[in-house]
Amino acid sequence: MRRRLSIMVVLGLLAAAVFVSMRVADRAWTAHVRKPRVPEIRVGRDTPTREAGTVVEREYATVHCTADGSGKGSLWAREEGGQAHTAESDDGSFNLALAPGTWSLSWQHDERWTNLGTLELDAGDVAECQLKTRWALEGKVVNLLDEPLAGVEVWGCGDTVQSDENGAFTLNPRKGECLVRARVRDGALSRHSEGAYFSAFDPVESVKLVVDDSPVAGIGVVIAQVDEGIRVDGVRPDSPAEEAGLENGDIIVAVDGHDTEGWSTYEAMDEITGDEGTVVKLELRREGRMLDIAVRRERFEAED
């Protein structure tokens, strides 16, 4: 009897120990799961507001522009298919908070409007620009050997100038976003440089425009840009184009296998012209029919 009682006492003590250890473990587990979670902070270019226990991300972009001169005016932003937002200023400092998306911006000043171009904005972006009543873009025109080219026409942003004897030029853009190019004339034809992009939101102090000034040969056509591609608007008499059978109204849909949809006339001319004696292959659409024509390039002077 005494032995049985001893066993029951030992079992009772063991049960009590197990119960206490389970309560301690339960409290520890409960404390673990109830521990405040450290919030994950995603920082854009502008520091977001902190919210405990959540993922924080700034929901808008910021546009900040500084104007010269009197500084009075308005900065306008219009989203594609949406409403316009505006910021007024008397001291030349403009600030806009915009939702992510595509925005067209303009500046109203001195009873004038200046188109600043288009911005693609993501959450947290900060876009800065310098607004000027008169921008100046300096540059130089060189050939493929990096030699300066004089008397080359440079145009873009509403202004056209010529390079001096050192190939240098100064262009005064009248828009806040545009493409600047140079053109070397060779008789009836011309060659163009790659475009240099100018933007009030990413201004450059100087640019170098490289033009291939080697002799250029063509096929003798006048072309225009249309929705379907490139249209032939004129064929020079006794030219390679006339001998190959090109006609006014033909639509050039491909040049050497490259689709012309969306091309400018400059891009098309760069592809159609080339070295004398070489052949360019044109795919044409004429009155619903498709034609493939190969034309040999030749050099000829401009008509009077």
Structure confidence by residue, pLDDT tens digits, 130-185: 888 888 899 999 998 999 999 999 988 889 999 999 999 999 988 888 889 998 87
Both 126 and 146 in one domain: the answer is: no
Looking at the domain assignment, is residue 183 inside a domain? yes
pLDDT at site 71:
66
Looking at the domain assignment, is residue 126 inside a domain? yes
* pLDDT tier for residue 26 given thresholds of 50, 70 and 90: very low
The residue that leads in pLDDT, 64 or 214, is 64
What's the domain range around 71? 61-131
In SS3 terms, 184-201 reads as: EEECCEEEECCCEEEECC
pLDDT digits (tens, 9 = 90+) for 174-191: 888 888 999 887 655 677
* pLDDT tier for residue 24 given thresholds of 50, 70 and 90: very low
What's the average model confidence in pLDDT over 256-268? 88
Choose from 31-35, 69-73, 209-213, 252-256 the range with maximum mean pLDDT.
Answer: 252-256
Looking at the domain assignment, is residue 231 inside a domain? yes
Q: How many angstroms separate the CA atoms of 66 and 89, rounded? A: 10
Q: How many angstroms separate the CA atoms of 224 and 265, rounded? A: 6
Looking at the domain assignment, is residue 46 inside a domain? no
Look up the CATH number of the domain holding residue 157: 2.60.40.1120
pLDDT digits (tens, 9 = 90+) for 34-65: 333 333 333 333 444 444 454 444 578 899 99
Domain boundary among 131, 153, 177: 131
Looking at the domain assignment, is residue 235 inside a domain? yes
Q: How many angstroms separate the CA atoms of 137 and 159, rounded? A: 11
Looking at the domain assignment, is residue 215 inside a domain? no
Looking at the domain assignment, is residue 111 inside a domain? yes
pLDDT digits (tens, 9 = 90+) for 57-108: 457 889 999 988 766 889 999 987 777 889 998 888 999 988 888 999 999 9
Q: How many angstroms separate the CA atoms of 1 and 171, rounded? A: 114
Look up the CATH number of the domain holding residue 78: 2.60.40.10
Both 177 and 127 in one domain: the answer is: no
Q: How many angstroms separate the CA atoms of 260 and 10, rounded? A: 95
Sequence letter at residue 144: L
What's the average model confidence in pLDDT over 214-224? 85
pLDDT at site 6:
52
Looking at the domain assignment, is residue 166 inside a domain? yes
Look up the CATH number of the domain holding residue 288: 2.30.42.10
pLDDT at site 169:
96
Q: Which tokens hold the place of 113? A: 């409007």
> Which residue from 242, 231, 220 is spatially nearest to 303, judged by alpha carbons?
220
The residue that leads in pLDDT, 228 or 209, is 209
Both 290 and 241 in one domain: the answer is: yes
E-only strand ranges, 135-259: 137-142, 153-156, 159-162, 168-171, 177-186, 189-192, 196-199, 206-210, 221-226, 229-235, 251-255, 258-259
Total tally of structural domains belonging to the chain: 3
Backbone angles phi, psi at 34, to 5 degrees: -90, 0
Domain boundary among 131, 158, 186: 131
Domain boundary among 90, 107, 131: 131
3-state secondary structure of 83: coil
Taking a C-beta distance cutoff of 8 angstroms, is the pair 149, 184 a contact? yes
Which range has the worst mean pLDDT, 19-33, 88-102, 140-154, 200-214?
19-33
Taking a C-beta distance cutoff of 8 angstroms, is the pair 87, 97 a contact? no
